[in-house]
A and B are shown apart, each in its own frame.
Chain A
Amino acid sequence: MAWEAVIGLEAHAQLSTRSKIFSGASTAFGAAPNTRASAVDIALPGVLPSMNKGALERAIRFGLAVGGKINRRSVFARKNYFYPDLPKGYQISQYEIPVVQGGEVAIQSPTRGDVRVRLTRAHLEEDAGKSLHEDFHGMTGIDLNRAGTPLLEIVSEPDLRSAEEAVAYAKTLHALVRWIGICDGNMQEGSFRVDANVSVRQGGDPKLGTRCEIKNLNSFRFLQHALAFEIRRQIALIEDGGAVEQETRLYDPERDETRPMRTKEDAQDYRYFPDPDLPPLVVEEAWIERIRAEMPELPAAKQQRYVSELLLSRSEAAGLTATDALAHTFEDAVRAGAEPKQAANWVLGEFSAAVNKAGIDSGDVPVSGAELGALLARIRDGTISGKIAKEVFDAMWAGEGSADAIIDQRGLRQISDAGAIENVVEKVLAANAATVAEYKSGKDKAFNALVGKVMAVTRGKANPAQVNAILRRKLVDA
């Protein structure tokens, strides 16, 4: 029997509100320590939390996007524990009644194909501050800028079966929260981080093994490596006759291993109870409907539409919906007159290559979807060839103007005048008698050489289809 891993993820998505979840302080990243912490965030005596509606709205958007149940009434609870970067001595979170329950995320598993990952819940909570152990000899620095930052904790069921599948789920979830505009997804800044629960069992065994939790994985690579290590560790442990102990572990990227942080015995009693400072969050049906109406078309729905209506392949559709910026570029290009298949090729090819090369975010590029579409429309209507279009695209990227302006300025308009092409063809045939002879003796390659000559004379502007047709006709005559 083969070993099988059973994995569930808890993802923490930092919600993209401008102010904190319970105070008016800014959530901007990178400020000097403790300059983004208000009286509420540092928990001065007497201060009280007041709910940021924007955080709740974003949680509802998520619930709608995954088809979960939006609880009309959810409750904030206090999770009590002492730590220097937890200013109140408790974290405000949701415990018994979260804002979102259930729902699912469809992923492409590298091993199992289409997999629907069920979600347990998604709940709102505040982040803690940061303890800085370096730079302070024998002491710890506390930075409370992050304290009170709104988080949505998204808890999956243990539906994932390999490290690769967990990464596929995490990436899909990461794309989704960005897609619906609730999280900037910046993993370096900790805006999206993951805890993984993992156990192993013999394939087919309905019983779950003892699990370990790996905390705070802030890159897909770390997630992959930590899970791969942990799965190996647990299998080796059991095969050596040992048993997995339930514990919380930390991943050390430098040594590429997980290490125990605390065991079940030191598990704290958080003494959860409903926060008396915050009345239950009541969500009106009408508000949910307003949010639903404002929801963007989701990646899965777009993919389906691209395949059925625009006749793209599954992989093209998946590629175009990797981010909402890419999908928008594609759709704007089609709207501006590009042929869909060609637009897909360009967006995933030239355009993405240029974005990657420039190292910029695909939402922040010098050529918009509509501008790209205007360029591709010129291929479609025969004004330029695909090859010339690449030259025009580079010029557009360099900021030289619109497709039409560049085509005119550089005189790139395709020669579609049959008479003009015939003239050139005749001259080329006359000047290249040897090649013509080769062609006649059955060397097909000679034909391409003659096309090349014609294109060279016209500096690439001759309509390639016309050149082919005229050349074939003239060669019969020659």
Chain B
Amino acid sequence: MIARSIAELGRALATKRLSSVELTTALLDRIEAIDPRLNAFLARDRERSLAEARAADAQRAAGRATPLTGIPVAHKDVLMTAGWKTTCGSRMLEGFVAPYSAFVVERLALAGMVLVGKTNMDEFAMGSSTENSYFGPARNPWNLDCVPGGSSGGSAAAVAAGLVPAATGTDTGGSIRQPAALSGVCGIKPTYGACSRYGLVAFASSLDTPGAFARDAEGCALLLNAMAGHDPRDSTSLNRPVEDYSRLLAAAAGAKPLAGLRVGLPREYFGPGVDPEVAAAVQAAVRELEKLGASAVEVTLPKVELAVPVYYVIAPAEASSNLARFDGVRYGHRAARYADLTDMYKKTRSQGFGAEVKRRILVGTYVLSHGYYDAYYLKAQQVRRLIAEGFKRAYRDCDVIAGPTSPTPAFPIGAKADDPVQMYLNDIFTVAGNLTGAPAISIPCGFDRTGLPIGLQIQGDAFAESVILNVAHRYQQATDWHTREPEPVFDREIQSL
């Protein structure tokens, strides 16, 4: 019951077979039992969650339920959540209680969702493994020795382990899609600007995108319906008519629901760097899409091989500036002893930030420096435009682009910790989506021989969320990878419901 989809749980709540209090209680018990081994959560508050569940049940009783009312959710700890500790996985914000809520947090609360906790993450969303959390790494439910991916690893692991049916994440270079792939769940990064960034603690402002995790595409669509919308507090928030992301999913379809759909397969996404088992699973998924009526076309994405270097100029540059506010003056960590102002800054930031954050602040400061700006930052922005133009041209020949989300399945904790470049290459297929701002989803499409999940990435042009959600949904109607659960990892007796 617990690991069911949002839609199924919604139906159970709607028909009163289950109350939100019952569901929330069961999940909180399960989190309490399992999370010590996963470390997916950084904050929980049983009383608060149960109060929200009671409010949701009352809302339903009063006839004011939305499709999400009473459904438990967890928020990535980079999202400001009023009254909750919001640490961004950093010592810098250890114990920091948010005085306001992020736009997407507010929206999901308004929809009646019940917050069960804040999830673990790479510090300030910098990383691909959740090993960079000051509060210890999160673990992959399919293999506790492996990483769940990152930076939204806690959210992905929590959904995968059935601790919560829905979770928020943020995606700056792949931080929703890559952990979704490595943890075997669905994760969507919508178009940049579809969801307001207000209250998302900024890592790289021109790339940061709030999004969602669920077990299936249908759940992602329901979450997106509540999370998207214009917000005047975010000047980069899109001001477009409200869209029902579920609309294509609900339409009746025959045996060939994807008839007429052209699936682009970029030559660049099937090269030698991809794990053979990952490549095989993705190719099998493409054949499945063809069975559903889609046609596969080969496309090319010029300059996409430069996406990772471009990303690792732009993202650190913006981060170096965004993280300057953590100076020990107004909130957060401040060194206990210091000689003067400069010493206070140095000690506070040396103590408060972890190694990866420091590395990126250094890189970012360097590429923005006088004399280097043109060669690095400006050049990177120019290549960013070229990559976006390449995608635009590809979408003349196809409707969506499919490929692996990540070149490999989950890797053991510690395996890449000393090799940042290897770690950065995890994002090789996802960063382009952030550079162009276009939407993409990762869905489970198989397992390797050790039982680790493999993710299929479906990308679309700007504003094509409903198209990629529909492709994912039709695939999931025909397959069952997304329903597999990593239960055997956990003791049988704690599966209470």
Q: Is B327 within 8 A of A82, CB to CB?
A: yes
List A311-330 residues whose CB lies under 8 Å from chain B.
none
A residues whose Cβ falls under 8 Å from a Cβ of B:
39, 42-51, 78, 80, 82, 84, 87-90, 142, 269, 271-273, 276-279
Q: Is A47 within 8 A of B205, CB to CB?
A: no
Q: Is A273 within 8 A of B321, CB to CB?
A: yes
Q: Is B327 within 8 A of A89, CB to CB?
A: yes
Question: Which residues of the other chain, B, contact A48 by a CB distance below 8 angstroms?
Answer: 197-198, 233-235
Instruction: List 8 additional A-B contacts (Cβ < 8 Å) besides A42-B330, A47-B199, A88-B324.
Output: A39-B99, A45-B86, A45-B326, A46-B201, A89-B325, A142-B330, A273-B373, A277-B235
- In angstroms, Cα B4 to Cα A280, docked, is 45
Q: Is B368 within 8 A of A273, CB to CB?
A: yes
Question: Which residues of the other chain, B, contact A276 by a CB distance below 8 angstroms?
Answer: 204-206, 236, 318
8 nearest interchain CB pairs?
Answer: A89-B324, A276-B206, A271-B368, A276-B205, A45-B201, A46-B199, A46-B80, A43-B325
- Number of A-B contacts defined by CB within 8 Å: 94
List B200-250 residues whose CB lies under 8 Å from chain A.
200-202, 204-206, 232-236
Report the contact-size class of chain B (Cβ under 8 Å from the partner).
35 or more
User: B306 within 8 Å of A by Cβ?
Assistant: no
- In angstroms, Cα B343 to Cα A82, docked, is 12
User: B478 within 8 Å of A by Cβ?
Assistant: no
Cross-interface CB contact of B235 among A42, A273, A278, cutoff 8 Å:
A278
B residues whose Cβ falls under 8 Å from a Cβ of A:
79-80, 86, 88, 93, 96, 98-100, 102, 197-202, 204-206, 232-236, 317-318, 320-321, 323-327, 329-331, 341, 345, 365, 368-370, 373, 377
Cross-interface CB contact of B100 among A39, A49, A50, A279, cutoff 8 Å:
A39
- In angstroms, Cα B235 to Cα A80, docked, is 21
- In angstroms, Cα B204 to Cα A88, docked, is 15
Q: Is B100 within 8 A of A277, CB to CB?
A: no
Interface centre among B205, B323, B330, B365 (most CB of A within 10 A): B330
Question: Which residues of the other chain, A, contact B232 by a CB distance below 8 angstroms?
Answer: 50
CB of A374, distance to nearest CB on chain B (Å)? 50
Q: Is A273 within 8 A of B317, CB to CB?
A: yes
Cross-interface CB contact of B331 among A44, A49, A84, A277, cutoff 8 Å:
A44
Question: Which residues of the other chain, B, contact A278 by a CB distance below 8 angstroms?
Answer: 235
CB of A21, distance to nearest CB on chain B (Å)? 12
- In angstroms, Cα B197 to Cα A90, docked, is 19
Question: Which residues of the other chain, A, contact B202 by a CB distance below 8 angstroms?
Answer: 45-46, 277
Cross-interface CB contact of B329 among A44, A51, A84, cutoff 8 Å:
A84
Q: Is A78 within 8 A of B321, CB to CB?
A: yes
Q: Is B330 within 8 A of A87, CB to CB?
A: yes
CB of B54, distance to nearest CB on chain A (Å)? 29
Question: Which residues of the other chain, A, contact B369 by a CB distance below 8 angstroms?
Answer: 269, 271
Interface centre among B79, B202, B326, B365 (most CB of A within 10 A): B202
Between A and B, 29 residue pairs with Cβ closer than 8 Å are: A39-B99, A39-B100, A44-B80, A44-B99, A44-B331, A45-B80, A45-B86, A45-B88, A46-B80, A46-B102, A46-B200, A49-B235, A50-B233, A50-B235, A51-B235, A80-B320, A82-B324, A82-B345, A84-B327, A87-B329, A88-B324, A90-B324, A271-B369, A272-B368, A272-B373, A273-B373, A277-B205, A279-B235, A279-B236
CB of B9, distance to nearest CB on chain A (Å)? 29
- In angstroms, Cα B330 to Cα A89, docked, is 12
Question: Which residues of the other chain, B, contact A271 by a CB distance below 8 angstroms?
Answer: 320-321, 365, 368-370, 373
CB of A278, distance to nearest CB on chain B (Å)? 5
- In angstroms, Cα B338 to Cα A84, docked, is 15
Question: Which residues of the other chain, B, contact A273 by a CB distance below 8 angstroms?
Answer: 317, 321, 368, 373, 377
- In angstroms, Cα B365 to Cα A271, docked, is 8
Q: Is B233 within 8 A of A89, CB to CB?
A: no
CB of B489, distance to nearest CB on chain A (Å)? 34
- Assess A269 versus B370: contact at CB under 8 Å? Given A45-B201, A89-B324, A142-B329: yes
Cross-interface CB contact of B321 among A51, A87, A89, cutoff 8 Å:
A89
Question: Which residues of the other chain, B, contact A142 by a CB distance below 8 angstroms?
Answer: 329-330
- Assess A90 versus B321: contact at CB under 8 Å? Given A46-B198, A48-B197, A80-B368: yes
Question: Which residues of the other chain, B, contact A49 by a CB distance below 8 angstroms?
Answer: 235
Question: Which residues of the other chain, A, contact B368 by a CB distance below 8 angstroms?
Answer: 80, 271-273
- In angstroms, Cα B370 to Cα A272, docked, is 9
Interface centre among B79, B80, B234, B327 (most CB of A within 10 A): B327
- Assess A277 versus B236: contact at CB under 8 Å? Given A42-B330, A46-B202: yes
- In angstroms, Cα B199 to Cα A47, docked, is 6
- Residue of chain A at shortest CB distance from B198: A48
- Assess A80 versus B324: contact at CB under 8 Å? Given A45-B80, A45-B86, A46-B198: yes
- In angstroms, Cα B329 to Cα A142, docked, is 9
Question: Which residues of the other chain, B, contact A80 by a CB distance below 8 angstroms?
Answer: 320-321, 324, 368
Question: Which residues of the other chain, A, contact B377 by a CB distance below 8 angstroms?
Answer: 273
- In angstroms, Cα B235 to Cα A277, docked, is 7
- In angstroms, Cα B344 to Cα A84, docked, is 11
Question: Which residues of the other chain, A, contact B93 by a CB distance below 8 angstroms?
Answer: 45
Question: Which residues of the other chain, A, contact B206 by a CB distance below 8 angstroms?
Answer: 276
CB of B375, distance to nearest CB on chain A (Å)? 14
- In angstroms, Cα B204 to Cα A49, docked, is 15
Interface centre among A46, A269, A271 (most CB of B within 10 A): A46
Question: Which residues of the other chain, A, contact B329 by a CB distance below 8 angstroms?
Answer: 84, 87, 142
